[in-house]
Amino acid sequence: MELTHLDENDKPKMVDVSNKDNTTRVATASGEIVVTKEAYEAVVNQKTKKGPVLQTAVISAIMGAKKTSELIPMCHPLMLTSIKTDIQEIPSLPGFRLFVTAKLTGKTGVEMEALTGVSIGLLTIYDMLKAIDKSMVIQNIQLESKTGGKSGDFRRKKS
């Protein structure tokens, strides 16, 4: 398999997408953060000193998705048309699962934007709870689905 981010001299390059067709592209990613019961209760009962944790995580997930090309060198700056988030409270972990869906009509996919949004959103939860719980674990950051583009559609199989 040829690596598209290397030129003929094995130097890094950004892929040229100028000849690709504009298509609607959507990607959803997810990830989890496992916290102590004490930290979980503080979040769901809105008893944290730093403010509304989940709402702040949503805002940072959106900001992270929008800034992906500034953080990952070979990502193209994109005009995203939509970023949606969802956070599930999971008492059995205890913790939270964050979903980010990024969408655009363009020449390149939005998988990295969705994955970056999840990562930044979960890191925000970590930052806001670290005074309560230093043992938190961020895990299972993964692409759930993508549509559009030459490589076709992908949907993660449920295990």
Active site residues: 127
DSSP state of 159: -
Sign of the alpha-carbon dihedral angle for 57, 91, 82, 114: positive
Q: How many helices (H) and strands (E) does the chain have?
A: 4, 5
Q: Which residues contact 107 (CB under 8 A, 6 or more apart)?
A: 17, 18, 20, 21, 22
How far from 118 is each of 3, 20, 24, 94, 133, CA to CA, in Å?
25, 27, 21, 18, 20
For residues 28 and 101, the answer to whether their CB atoms sit within 8 Å is yes
Q: Which residues contact 28 (CB under 8 A, 6 or more apart)?
A: 99, 100, 101, 114, 143, 144, 145, 146
